[in-house]
Amino acid sequence: MNPHLARLCDIAQQPSRRIIGLMSGTSLDGLDVALCRLHGQGIATRLELEQFATVPYTEEVRHRVRQVFAREQVSLEYVTLLHAWLGRLHADMVLACLRQWQVAPTEIDLIASHGQTVYHAPAHQHQLPDFPGLNATLQLGDADHLAVATGIITFSDFRQKHIAAGGEGAPLAAYGDYLLLSSATEERLLLNLGGIANFTYLPQTGADTTHAFSTDTGPGNTLLDAAIRAHHPTLSYDTDGRLAAAGQVHHDLLDDLLRASFFDAPLPKTTGPELFSPAYVQAARHRTGTMNLRLEDLLATLVEFSALGVARAARLAFGPQPALAVYVSGGGAHNPALMAALQRQLPACSFATTAALGIAPDAKEAILFAVLANEAVAGQPVSIGAGRQRVPAVSMGKISLPG
């Protein structure tokens, strides 16, 4: 037997595994690296987050990713090179973290690498007649580079199996959220405010997965970050939402932003910066004569837009006045202007961060991919939701062996 496969069998039979989860999302802020110890599998999974770091992307990395990110037309040569280059970059970042944490690569069982999303194309969004009904998504950063450079067996490209089995490739959060955070005593909404916002609904049913689901809701931080970058190229975000808090919502612009059919489409659904782009905001500003809006007012309007996206999805799912315990994760949890807008839009909900449930809000998405790899080696495929909201029961991730 290939010794790496023998090692994988051993790893699958261990009572606990040390898995590094990697996530680099739509904000292009950096690579999230979560060193997790996962005990058991399935609904009995228990997480210890041993270490976490966000290794920032330099301006050069961001520039390179933006050459292809969410663009319909790109150089195929550039995409090809970026795939290998990001794989190596992520490997170097992991090795640097391990050195800093004084952990040898041989002490790690697996890496679970999400890769860098560069294009997300659910059928409802691309509507291309050549590919009717086809969902597709592309993450770059080939995992063979991670496996070879670190010597650690690496799982990657998790989204493709979800699509192959009938999903849109996202959000995958439902699986990990269900395994780590479902409760028999509380109905929960786990809201992630990344570049794109999404939530997972976990009914108060403990092990019954029939009514759980996750969906994207629209923009999270992506339009806010783009707006501030256009005015202050050296800033990557509106720190603590200070500028947004000093602005006024422009209601005509807000109404225009809400025109996208995405907001009325049934749940669950996914989206990305392909739709919610600076060009989308520019078009709405042209139509509403708000090209000269103060930055503060633009940010206040975009904050309200993100919050309304979440509220609309919650109302579609739970009726006019959702009353749920909401636990927030992702970078938007650090933006008080966004959190205040959410509380205004969903007054009957209570808000806390996932820290209240023992999950560091900035680490949650990277942890989710570690959980998916843990399930792929040691678990059973779990079916979540029912009807349209059902997500396929599959194990996800492709395997890269180090040699």
Ligand X SMILES: CC(=O)N[C@H]1[C@@H]2OC[C@@H](O2)[C@@H](O)[C@@H]1O[C@H](C)C(=O)O
Q: How far is the CB of 347 from ligand ATP (least distance, A)?
A: 23
From CA 174, how far away is CA 170, in angstroms rounded?
9
Window contacting ligand ATP (CB under 6 A); options: 75-83, 178-186, 234-242, 279-287: 234-242
Q: How far is the CB of 195 from ligand X (least distance, A)?
A: 6
221 binds ligand ATP (CB under 6 A): yes
Phi, psi of 220 (to 5 degrees): -105, -90
# of chain residues touching ligand X (CB under 6 A) = 18
Position among 29, 32, 109, 216 found at the interface with ligand X (CB under 6 A): 216
215 binds ligand ATP (CB under 6 A): no
Contact 159, 169 (CB under 8 A): yes
21 binds ligand ATP (CB under 6 A): no
β-strand pairing of 153-156 with 188-193: unpaired
Position among 25, 30, 167, 331 found at the interface with ligand X (CB under 6 A): 25
From CA 94, how far away is CA 32, in angstroms rounded?
10
Position among 194, 219, 309, 385 found at the interface with ligand ATP (CB under 6 A): 194
Position among 11, 29, 110, 382 found at the interface with ligand ATP (CB under 6 A): 29
172 binds ligand X (CB under 6 A): yes
β-strand pairing of 16-24 with 110-121: parallel
Burial code (b: 16+ CB inside 10 Å, e: under 16) for 61-75 equals bbebbeebbbeeeee
Q: Which does 216 bind (CB under 5 to 8 A by kind): ligand ATP, ligand X, none?
A: ligand X
Q: Which 151-170 residues touch ligand ATP, going by CB under 6 A?
A: none
Q: How far is the CB of 293 from ligand ATP (least distance, A)?
A: 20
Of 331 and 379, nearer to ligand ATP (C-beta) is 331
Q: Which does 238 bind (CB under 5 to 8 A by kind): ligand ATP, ligand X, none?
A: ligand ATP
Asked if residue 30 belongs to a known ligand binding site, the reply is yes
What is the torsion angle, in degrees rounded to the nearest 10, for the CA atoms of residue 275, residue 277, residue 281 and residue 283?
-70
196 binds ligand X (CB under 6 A): yes
Phi, psi of 82 (to 5 degrees): -65, -35
173 binds ligand X (CB under 6 A): yes
188-193 β-sheet, strand order: 213-219, 196-202, 188-193, 325-329, 350-353
From CA 275, how far away is CA 386, in angstroms rounded?
28
Asked if residue 28 belongs to a known ligand binding site, the reply is yes
Window contacting ligand ATP (CB under 6 A); options: 56-64, 207-215, 220-228, 390-398: 220-228
- Residue 228 sits at the vertex; the CA angle it makes with 119 and 298, to the nearest 5 degrees, is 100
Would you say how long the chain is, in residues?
403
Position among 122, 141, 322, 332 found at the interface with ligand ATP (CB under 6 A): 332
Of 26 and 400, nearer to ligand X (C-beta) is 26
Q: Which does 172 bind (CB under 5 to 8 A by kind): ligand ATP, ligand X, none?
A: ligand X
Contact 365, 397 (CB under 8 A): no
Position among 176, 241, 322, 385 found at the interface with ligand ATP (CB under 6 A): 241
β-strand pairing of 30-39 with 16-24: antiparallel
Q: Which 272-301 residues touch ligand X, going by CB under 6 A?
A: 272
Cis preceding-peptide flag for 268 (omega within 30 of 0): yes
335 binds ligand ATP (CB under 6 A): yes
Phi, psi of 66 (to 5 degrees): -65, -15
Q: Which two tokens stand for residue 70?
A: 């969410």
Q: Which 363-382 residues touch ligand ATP, going by CB under 6 A?
A: 365
Residue numbers in the known binding site for ATP are 25-32
Interaction site with ligand ATP (CB under 6 A): 25-27, 29, 192, 194-196, 220-221, 224-225, 236-241, 330-332, 334-335, 365
